[in-house]
Amino acid sequence: MAKIRLITDTGSDLKLPVAERYNIRLLPFAYSYDGETYLRSQIDESAEDFYKRLSEADNPPKTTQITPAQYADVFREELDAGYDTIIVVTLSGSASGTCQNAHIAAAEVMEERSCDIRIVDSQTFTCLYAQPVIHAAKMVKHGASADEVENYLKDATADFGAVFVVSDLEHLKKGGRINAATLLFANMLDIKPILTVDGGLVVQTDKVRGEKRVNKKIIETAVKTAGDLNGKTIIGAYADSRDKLEALIEEIKAQFPDVNVRYCRLGPIIGTHGGPTLYGFAYSSSGRFDISDYEED
């Protein structure tokens, strides 16, 4: 029987204690405010400190990819530790070159050694692939084959959906993701973009005028795909906006009193791009995947 090692990255917002609990190796992305001093996400700075610095910074930090050399070193370490099969789940390859870097490293190491290294492009972000990785780790523990684990990961990450909102667009302007004229127009009309994940990218699916209508539109957008949320588990995700998320959860429970809620604090890699006001929730689009075993810490 193959000895399988699961690896993912901190773009998943999988927390270190959970990764350690389930024997998942967690590779940190790095980010820098000055282009010289790089911080490893989840290791060198707490979420609280990160969001404090983010709110005060003139410009958001720059994130870096995990390089082929870094991946190759990790693969060799795991093989030396006695694993013969490695399954890597990465941040969306449509949004980052990290997935391609993992493929490059896997090809190099498999040419050197007799081993099996598989790369799963999650085509998504944050807890939308952390949850499948947690479940996959439990499958490994109970003796599932590499094929079973890989197929589950591909099916689950393809199924998971999410709806988010950025309630303050100023951060997107700082990061160069919208221009000043768009920001002025949006602020004048109090427009909030409703975001989903499609094709491995974060895209705007709708927009709402006025804060009061935002949560209603978030719920409507999710229900179109997921249907009745009663008896299902959702994962409420937030940057530095727990109060706004709780208001959303309250509205969800008013409509679906039997919904189960888990929570995910977005880390530096997602927070850098979305900003401190990003919040929303993730769910199984088809309802086929039970995500109630998601763990925040």
Count of all residues that appear for the chain in the document: 297
Contact 115/145 with Cβ under 8 angstroms?
Answer: no
In 3D space, the residue among 291, 4, 294 whose CA is nearest the CA of residue 142 turns out to be 4
What does the alpha-carbon distance between residue 50 and residue 276 come to, in Å, rounded to a whole number? 10
Residue 166 pLDDT grade (very low, low, confident, very high; cuts 50, 70, 90): confident
Specify the pLDDT at position 66: 97
Q: Kindly report the backbone phi and psi dihedral angles of residue 80, in degrees, each rounded to the nearest multiple of 5, phi listed first.
A: -65, -30
Specify the pLDDT at position 160: 96
In this prediction, residues 116-134 reach a mean pLDDT of: 97
Specify the pLDDT at position 174: 47
Q: Which residues are bridge partners to 87 per DSSP? A: 6, 118
Q: Which residues, in sequence order, are CB contacts of 266 under 8 Å at separation 6+?
A: 13, 126, 237, 238, 239, 274, 278
SS3 155: helix
- Per-residue tokens: 8: 């993912």
Specify the pLDDT at position 209: 80
Residue 71 predicted with pLDDT over 50: yes
What does the alpha-carbon distance between residue 88 and residue 117 come to, in Å, rounded to a whole number? 8
Specify the pLDDT at position 115: 96
DSSP string for residues in 42-79: TTSS-HHHHHHHHHH-SSPPEEEPPPHHHHHHHHHHHH
pLDDT more than 90, % of the chain: 73
In this prediction, residues 58-80 reach a mean pLDDT of: 94
In this prediction, residues 164-187 reach a mean pLDDT of: 51
- Per-residue tokens: 191: 């427009």
Q: Which residues are bridge partners to 206 per DSSP? A: 194
End-to-end CA distance of the chain: 31
The larger pLDDT score, comparing residue 89 to residue 275, is at: 89
Q: Which residues, in sequence order, are CB contacts of 145 under 8 Å at separation 6+?
A: 2
Residue 94 predicted with pLDDT over 70: yes
Percent helix, strand and coil across the chain, each rounded to 5? 45, 25, 30
Count the alpha carbons within 13 Å of 125 in the hemisphere toward its beta carbon. 27
Which of these ranges, 25-34, 45-54, 168-177, has the smallest mean pLDDT?
168-177
Which of these ranges, 17-26, 62-71, 161-170, 210-219, has the smallest mean pLDDT?
161-170
Q: Which residues, in sequence order, are CB contacts of 267 under 8 Å at separation 6+?
A: 10, 13, 41, 42, 47, 50
Residue 81 predicted with pLDDT over 60: yes
Give 7-34 pLDDT, tens digit per residue.
Answer: 999 999 999 999 999 999 999 999 998 8
Containing 40, the helix (H) or strand (E) segment is strand 38-40
Contact 83/74 with Cβ under 8 angstroms?
Answer: no
Residue 179 pLDDT grade (very low, low, confident, very high; cuts 50, 70, 90): very low
- Per-residue tokens: 51: 């969001």
DSSP conformational letter for 10 = G
Specify the pLDDT at position 168: 59
Residue 170 predicted with pLDDT over 70: no
**pLDDT, averaged across the chain:** 90
